[in-house]
Amino acid sequence: MEHHQSPVRWLFGVFALGMLCSLTLAALSTWADLEAAFYGFERRASTSLPGLHCPIFLNRNETGTVSIKVSNTTSQKLSPSFRAEFSSPLEPIAALDFANLNPGEAKTLRWTIGPQNIDLKHFIFSKVLVYSTYPIPDRESTCGTFILDLPIPGNVVAGLLLVFGLAGMGGGLIWLWRTQSGDANVMRALRPFTFLAAIVVVALFTSLAGFWLQALLLLAVVLIMLIVTMNFLVFR
């Protein structure tokens, strides 16, 4: 009996480790974007600006790139102006830029962030405003970067968490479904955990896409489902 249970416990352990990695990545990414949305940037536009990307993680001595891709979807030439603001311990640092866009053309603008932009101990916050160019109104968006006290690059940490998270959850569940199909107790646990893993994956990619509000709601659902599922399994 103990010999039979050991592989099951090991596979559930792999699944749990994968879920922990995925939730850590999603939670820290969402936290940074949430803090950025309520940072001390002045509000100048009511329309959201899509396409703003920040590094998920940086270490304290590392530099990264904030980028925004803008497209001209009109039939006329546009020359939009940009105002990029970045956090700092004293006050936000601003930079002005512009782009010439022919009809149908797209360009990517980039700015460098680093240790000088760290604020609130563990964050770098970024905001980009595109001033209105008729017929397109003012648009702005924010994003956040979480600062790690680790000696390795932040993109390596994010990549490892993503790979271990997806591989752990997916590999653990697939192997359990294949090898334990005759065990009623294991199958009873697998069904809710499979559904839970699916929501975790959606929350993860929602947070990485910058939709912090939706990601926050999904993470709350994951937490509630995890508590309910564990109580159900324990008391059964």
Give the per-residue pLDDT at 186.
65
Alpha carbons 90 and 100: distance in angstroms, whole number: 33
Alpha carbons 27 and 151: distance in angstroms, whole number: 21
Instruction: Please give the CATH superfamily to which domain 37-152 belongs.
Output: Immunoglobulins (2.60.40.10)
Q: Which two tokens stand for residue 26?
A: 């999603």
Evaluate whether 212 touches 218 at the Cβ level (below 8 Å).
Answer: no
Give the per-residue pLDDT at 2.
45
What is the domain partition of the chain in residue ranges? 2-31+155-235, 37-152
Give the per-residue pLDDT at 108.
93
* Cut 0.85: pTM above it: yes
Q: Which two tokens stand for residue 208?
A: 């990485």
pLDDT in tens, the chain (236 residues): 444 456 777 888 899 999 999 999 999 999 999 999 999 899 888 889 888 999 999 999 999 999 999 888 888 898 889 999 999 998 999 999 988 999 989 999 999 999 999 999 999 999 999 998 877 889 999 999 999 999 999 999 999 999 999 999 999 888 878 876 556 666 777 888 899 999 999 999 999 999 999 999 999 999 999 888 777 666 55
DSSP annotation string for 86-112 = E--SSS-EEEEEE--B-TT-EEEEEEE
Q: Could you read off the pLDDT of 132-150 as tens digits, one per residue?
A: 887 788 999 999 999 999 9
176 exposure class (CB count in 10 Å sphere: 0-12, 13-18, 19+): buried
